[in-house]
Amino acid sequence: MKKLLRFIGRYKGLLVLSLLLSTITVLIQLYIPILFGKGIDFVVEKGNVDFDGLHQKLLLILILLGFSGILTWVLGIVNNRMTYGIVKQIRAASIRKMQKLPLSFLDRMGVGDLVSRIITDTDQVSDGLLLGFTQLFAGVVTILATLYFMLGLSPWITLLVVCLTPISFFVSKFIASGTYKMFKLQSEIRGQQTALTEEMVGGARVVHAFGYERRAEERFSEINDRLKDASTKAVFYSSLTNPSTRAVNGVIYASVALLGAFMILKGNLTVGGLSILLAYANQYMKPFTDISSVVTELQNALSCADRVFELLEEPSEPEEKSKELEDVHGTMDIEGVHFSYVKDKPLIENFSLRVKEGTHVAIVGPTGCGKTTFINLLMRFYDVDEGSIFIDGTDIYEISRKSLRESFGMVLQETWIKNATVRENIAFGHPDSTDEEIIKAAKEAHSYSFIKRLPEGLDTVIDDSSLSQGQKQLLCISRVMLTKPPMLILDEATSSIDTRTELKIQNAFEKMMEGRTTFIVAHRLSTIRSADIILVMRDGHIVEQGSHDELLKKGGFYRELYYSQFAGVEI
């Protein structure tokens, strides 16, 4: 609640207005029973009725009811605006946090679980807040105002009501205290279910190809059963609150009626006065019933808020430096770098390298040797454990991440296409580009031939499933061709492209790489024979380095790798 109050505090004006409208509405609703009571007392006996006074009271009641209805309508608008504004802020804060979280956190979290926190859990928070604003505020005002009015009519009956009230509190608290954990468990299992659904839908082709459908159904059924059990228990226990408080409220109401009847017989209270007190007793108990009925939503909302705040409180990436890279030449010094994903399992140890301006560096080695990890360290997707990396003599940890990453153009083996037009996908890193520049980049990347065949050309809206893997990779290459960064990283950049197109793109790459420092990660060694330096990695270490011809003459690990691709030699 304290964490939610930080967001609620940004809407102080609407909050004060909501409280004011709630107070006025409640006071009107509490004043109406007084008018009814006085109206009843105008009917003294048969033939002795003050019709003028009765008409006045009834007219005033109708006016107040109409005015109360208008205020309630306005109150609903205020509460809606405030609630959805707060949830908008929480969701925006969650997305901003996502941009600042280190990749190490995103790698260990399921995509579906993160989506569930940002979308589903914040929706649950909005439902709880809306009920809180509409019923809790009014409920508190109702309880206080009712006690004040009852005290003026009969201190003894007021005392009786106050003495019996704690029973309702204890019953509610006893039941509600256990529901929070149940609703939190429900939210966690729902996140697991969302993650599995996203995983199975995203990898549908692989699921079908390997006949995994039945096991996917079994996994989903197991999570679904746990979600059903958690939801049933949470709702069952929370639903006990309402009938329990109603039972207590019934005892209070009966006690007021009984005590009031004895007071009428003794002449200490009129029939109209008892009707007012009974109405007030009902009004006084109504908030407890309403609040108890809202407990389910509130507990659910708070447990969901807990998951959202867990995300918001995750440590962000280390604080940014403000230094910008200017006039980048591309010299690079890597000195004694150590890195591991898991602290007790070293991956890269004492990695050192000097790269001159315009050098083309190829990185080869068996799977898991640290090739892509090295690229991640260059881009600061991960930070080194020890050692330093310098670009043009400047430590990359003194440079802002934005400036560092803008200095590199990356084409990865894993393609990513956003749900937008072809134009927007190509101009992703350079949104102000003209159509002429975009078409030129597409032609250089040999993607324009299939773009022309799309229904609306550059204006065709595509998503990750609209194109083949090769076409998506060509669009990703087009992005880099458009930005023309001072340094390049090509990580299996043509792995999904046919041989004929690959040869054309290699020629385009060679033109783009002229004068640019370039790092090429490749499994097909035939594609990197022209590199200036070939780094041969094994178990996180550089075991050999040199040109293609030099390494073949050495007859070492590179020679084994190279000939294994042609002769089937096992390493």
Taking only the tens place, the pLDDT of each residue in 48-100 is 777 787 788 889 889 999 998 999 899 889 888 888 888 888 888 888 888 88
Please give the distance of CA 253 from its chain centroid, rounded to a whole number. Answer: 46
- Residue 12, pLDDT > 60, answer yes
- For residue 337, which of 106, 108, 542, 520 has the smallest C-alpha distance? 542
Structure tokens at 309: 């705040």
Q: How far is CA 147 from CA 165, 280, 550, in A?
A: 12, 8, 94
Mean pLDDT of 197-203: 79
Checking DSSP bridges between strand 43-45 and strand 386-391, what pairing results, if any?
Answer: unpaired
* Terminal-residue alpha carbon distance, the chain: 59
Beta bridge partners of 538: 541
| pLDDT, tens digit (0-9, with 9 covering 90-100), for 100-120 | 888 777 777 777 778 888 888
Mean pLDDT of 297-301: 74
Residue 239 contacts residue 289 (beta carbons within 8 Å): no
Distance CA 83, CA 90 (A): 11
Domain assignments of the chain as residue spans, ordered by start: 2-194+233-312, 415-484
Identify which has the larger pLDDT, 567 or 158: 158
At the top level of CATH, the class of 415-484 is alpha beta
Residue 326 contacts residue 391 (beta carbons within 8 Å): no
| Average pLDDT taken over every residue of the chain | 81
Question: What count of other Cβ atoms lies within 10 Å of the Cβ of residue 130?
Answer: 21
Phi then psi for residue 337, to 5 deg, are -80, 130
Mean pLDDT of 171-191: 75
Burial category of 2 from C-beta neighbours within 10 Å (exposed 0-12, middle 13-18, buried 19 and up)? exposed
Distance CA 410, CA 492 (A): 11
| pLDDT, tens digit (0-9, with 9 covering 90-100), for 381-393 | 888 889 999 998 8
Checking DSSP bridges between strand 332-339 and strand 386-391, what pairing results, if any?
Answer: antiparallel
Query: By three-state DSSP, how is residue 351 classified?
Result: strand
Would you place residue 522 in the very low, low, confident or very high pLDDT band (cuts 50, 70, 90)? confident
Please give the distance of CA 503 from its chain centroid, rounded to a whole number. Answer: 43
Q: What is the pLDDT of residue 222?
A: 92
Identify which has the larger pLDDT, 437 or 183: 437
Q: Which helix (H) or strand (E) holds 61?
A: helix 51-100
The side-by-side arrangement of strands in the sheet containing 348-355 is 348-355, 332-339, 386-391, 394-395
What does pTM read for this prediction?
0.63
CA atoms within 13 A of residue 322's CA, in its CB half-sphere = 0
Q: Which helix (H) or strand (E) holds 424?
A: helix 422-426
Query: By three-state DSSP, how is residue 45 classified?
Result: strand
Question: What count of other Cβ atoms lies within 10 Å of the Cβ of residue 249?
Answer: 22
Q: What is the pLDDT of residue 569?
A: 44
User: Which CATH number does 2-194+233-312 carry?
Assistant: 1.20.1560.10
Q: How far is CA 271 from CA 30, 34, 36, 57, 284, in A?
A: 18, 12, 11, 17, 20
Q: What is the pLDDT of residue 230?
A: 86
Beta bridge partners of 461: 421
For 272-328, give the DSSP string: HHHHHHHHHHHHHHHHHHHHHHHHHHHHHHHHHHHHHHHHHTSPPSPPPP-B---S-
| pLDDT, tens digit (0-9, with 9 covering 90-100), for 365-424 | 887 777 888 888 888 888 888 999 999 888 888 888 888 888 888 887 777 888 889 999
H helices, E strands: number in the chain = 21, 14
Lowest-pLDDT range of 19-23, 35-39, 432-436: 35-39
Residue 563 contacts residue 526 (beta carbons within 8 Å): no
Q: What is the pLDDT of residue 571?
A: 43
Q: Which helix (H) or strand (E) holds 354?
A: strand 348-355
| pLDDT, tens digit (0-9, with 9 covering 90-100), for 302-348 | 878 888 888 888 888 777 677 888 888 889 998 988 888 877 777 88
The side-by-side arrangement of strands in the sheet containing 533-538 is 408-411, 487-491, 517-521, 360-364, 533-538, 541-546
Q: What is the pLDDT of residue 225?
A: 92
Q: How far is CA 397 from CA 318, 378, 393, 409, in A?
A: 10, 10, 12, 19
Residue 75 contacts residue 18 (beta carbons within 8 Å): yes
Place of tokens 């007030």: 280
% pLDDT > 70, the chain: 92
Question: What count of other Cβ atoms lies within 10 Å of the Cβ of residue 92?
Answer: 11
- Residue 510, pLDDT > 90, answer no
Residue 515 contacts residue 489 (beta carbons within 8 Å): no
- The single-letter DSSP state of residue 358 is T
Would you place residue 292 in the very low, low, confident or very high pLDDT band (cuts 50, 70, 90)? low
- Residue 547, pLDDT > 90, answer no
- Residue 570, pLDDT > 50, answer no
| pLDDT, tens digit (0-9, with 9 covering 90-100), for 345-366 | 778 888 888 889 889 898 888 8
